[in-house]
């Protein structure tokens, strides 16, 4: 990989040249670092200048992702890995079973997952990961809608549709049509923090922005939102399951 020095730091990057590109694009992504894609005819000698122009932004992004990676115990789906639900940390206990069938259950401070004894290595990891994902999905479907109903009634609001799904970069959203999207992985957060996200998205039915008026609505139903906001920022790696 080519290397460039930005503010005294050597930074590796990947260079991608494709005919489809019309412009030079710089992207920094979690786990993959800096990527520069250029049109195929673009003069190579101009690439460093383009990177230097955005040096501060690039370094800021790289540092932010490095911080997240340090905080994330790589989910390995092995014995003893962390499984978080409603803010409580459990330990994963994979149990080989000869008769197929998936089962996930909480036993004390462990989450037991049965897996086919014939699986090993990557296949076993994939199986455990998928089993946990569907378990999270079931828990989210069971626990999130009643909380939305509760706060919608309190706030006298009527969301059109509430969808629970995986989202890579946000905990929830609200569309101009009044549809609420909640991230499946909200289920990993403490209940009070989940409630904050729900109140936040519901409040967007009144104000589709983050104006003072919007925050006054949120504060009325969720007085310690600052605490929850900082917890959410620290928990963004939950979305990388
Ligand atoms: Zn918002």
Q: Quick one: 129 and 229 in the same domain?
A: yes
CA–centroid distance, residue 171 to ligand 1 (Å): 10
CA–centroid distance, residue 200 to ligand 1 (Å): 6
Number of folded domains in the chain? 2
CA–centroid distance, residue 29 to ligand 1 (Å): 23
pLDDT tens digits for range 172-223? 999 999 999 999 999 999 999 999 999 999 999 999 999 999 999 999 999 9
* Domain range for 142: 82-240
Q: Quick one: 102 and 210 in the same domain?
A: yes
CA distances from 5 to 8, 12, 28, 33, 51 (A): 6, 9, 16, 15, 10
Task: Give a yes or no: residue 77 inside a domain.
Answer: no
Q: Please say which residue of 40, 71, 102 terminates a domain.
A: 71
Q: Quick one: 143 and 216 in the same domain?
A: yes
CA–centroid distance, residue 170 to ligand 1 (Å): 10
Predicted local confidence at residue 71, as pLDDT: 61
Predicted local confidence at residue 74, as pLDDT: 52
CA–centroid distance, residue 165 to ligand 1 (Å): 17
**Which residues of the chain carry a pLDDT beneath 70?**
69-75, 100-102, 241
The residues with which 95 forms a beta bridge, in sequence order, are: 114
Q: Quick one: 129 and 206 in the same domain?
A: yes
Predicted local confidence at residue 101, as pLDDT: 66
CA–centroid distance, residue 215 to ligand 1 (Å): 9
Q: Quick one: 194 and 219 in the same domain?
A: yes
pTM over 0.75: no
CA–centroid distance, residue 132 to ligand 1 (Å): 29
Helix H or strand E encompassing 67: helix 55-71
Q: Please say which residue of 50, 71, 92 terminates a domain.
A: 71
Task: Give a yes or no: residue 76 inside a domain.
Answer: no
d(CA 127, CA 107): 20
């Amino acid at each position: 990989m080519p290397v460039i020095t930005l503010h005294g730091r050597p930074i590796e990057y990947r260079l991608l040249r494709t005919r489809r590109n019309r412009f030079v694009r710089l992207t920094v992504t979690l786990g993959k670092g800096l990527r520069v894609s250029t049109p195929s005819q673009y003069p190579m000698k101009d690439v460093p200048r383009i990177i230097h122009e955005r040096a501060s932004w690039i370094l800021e992004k790289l540092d932010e992702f490095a911080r997240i990676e340090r905080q994330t115990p790589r989910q390995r789906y092995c014995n003893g890995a962390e499984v978080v639900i409603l803010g409580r940390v459990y330990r994963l206990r994979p149990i080989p079973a000869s008769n197929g069938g998936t089962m996930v259950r909480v036993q004390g401070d462990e989450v037991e997952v049965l897996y086919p004894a014939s699986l090993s290595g990557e296949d076993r990891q994939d199986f455990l990961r998928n089993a946990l994902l569907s378990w999270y999905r079931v828990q989210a479907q069971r626990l999130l809608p009643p909380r939305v109903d509760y706060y919608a009634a309190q706030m006298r609001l009527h969301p059109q549709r509430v969808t629970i799904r995986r989202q890579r970069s946000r905990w929830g959203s609200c569309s101009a049509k009044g549809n609420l999207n909640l991230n499946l992985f909200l289920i990993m957060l403490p209940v009070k923090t989940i409630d904050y996200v729900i109140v936040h998205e519901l409040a967007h039915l009144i104000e589709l922005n983050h104006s003072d008026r919007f925050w006054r609505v949120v504060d009325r139903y969720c007085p310690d939102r600052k605490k929850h906001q900082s917890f959410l920022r620290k928990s963004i790696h939950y979305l990388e399951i």
